[in-house]
């Protein structure tokens, strides 16, 4: 294994407008309460999501919790500490944030604005016209940068990236529950339509999960 050719730890979009995120909230309920209360929720309150709530959910998904031996350790485990999952957010109704598509820069703790506008109809269409996708204040869309894991694990990497996505989605679900928010995990979508919405190559960075 040639460590000098290891893929980058995370993805950023050079030149994209950036939104700095507030500190995650620390007043949520405890883990065991969240575990007991977590459900797949498809009906949401008619109010915008607060920016600090979104920041907290993103931290739960991929917050850096420590640095060790050159690794930026995160809230969710990842095979080999490679973190191949990339985090996109379709913003429909968040206080102080324009509607549109954003990419989460994990190390920079910022949102990178990729496209402005109302994506609800297009995103719902990519997700088999599920109403929950159009009615949620935000939709998390996770892709897998396959080479980041394949570089080390070869063919076995596919199972690892899917496990990684599951860990992240559960973190978000528990954080949402702790904040008194509803969430629903979504695996039913058209691969190519979802990838086209993000502008990614479905063969190299497929969409693997939504919430």
pLDDT at position 89 is 99
List residues bridging with 207 in a β-sheet: 143
Instruction: Yes or no: say if 13 and 114 are a contact pair by the CB < 8 Å rule.
Output: yes
Residues in the chain with pLDDT < 50? Answer: none
pLDDT at position 71 is 86
pLDDT at position 21 is 85
Convert 139-165 to b/e letters by CB count within 10 Å (16 or more is b): bbbbbbbbebbbbbbeeebbebbeebb
pLDDT at position 28 is 62
d(CA 199, CA 119): 14
pLDDT at position 34 is 86
pLDDT at position 60 is 97
pLDDT at position 134 is 96
pLDDT at position 208 is 99
Tokens coding 128: 């088999």
pLDDT at position 51 is 98
Predicted model pTM? 0.89
3-state helix, strand, coil in the chain (%, to 5): 35, 25, 40
pLDDT at position 37 is 86
Q: Which domains does the chain have, with CATH numbers?
A: 41-210 (3.40.109.10)
Q: Give CA separation, 119 vs 21, 58, 133, 183, 198, in Å.
A: 22, 20, 10, 18, 11
């Amino acid at each position: 294994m040639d460590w000098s050719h290891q893929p980058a730890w995370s993805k950023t979009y050079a030149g994209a407008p950036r939104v700095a995120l507030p500190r995650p909230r620390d007043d949520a309920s405890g883990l065991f309460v969240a575990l007991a209360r977590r459900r797949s929720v498809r009906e949401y309150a008619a109010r915008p999501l607060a920016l600090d709530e979104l920041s907290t959910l993103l931290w739960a998904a991929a917050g850096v919790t420590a640095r060790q031996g050159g690794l930026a350790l995160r809230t969710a485990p990842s095979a080999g500490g490679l973190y191949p999952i990339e985090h996109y957010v379709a913003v429909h109704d968040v206080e102080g944030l324009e509607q549109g598509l954003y990419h989460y820069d994990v190390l920079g703790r910022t949102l990178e604005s990729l496209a402005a506008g109302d994506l609800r109809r297009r995103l719902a269409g990519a997700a088999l016209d599920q109403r929950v996708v159009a009615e949620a204040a935000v939709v998390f869309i996770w892709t897998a940068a396959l080479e980041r894991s394949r570089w080390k694990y070869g063919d076995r990497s596919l199972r690892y990236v899917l496990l990684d996505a599951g860990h992240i989605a559960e973190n978000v679900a528990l954080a949402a529950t702790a904040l008194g928010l509803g969430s629903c995990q979504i695996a039913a979508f058209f691969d190519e339509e979802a990838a086209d919405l993000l502008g990614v190559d479905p063969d190299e960075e497929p969409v693997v999960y939504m919430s």
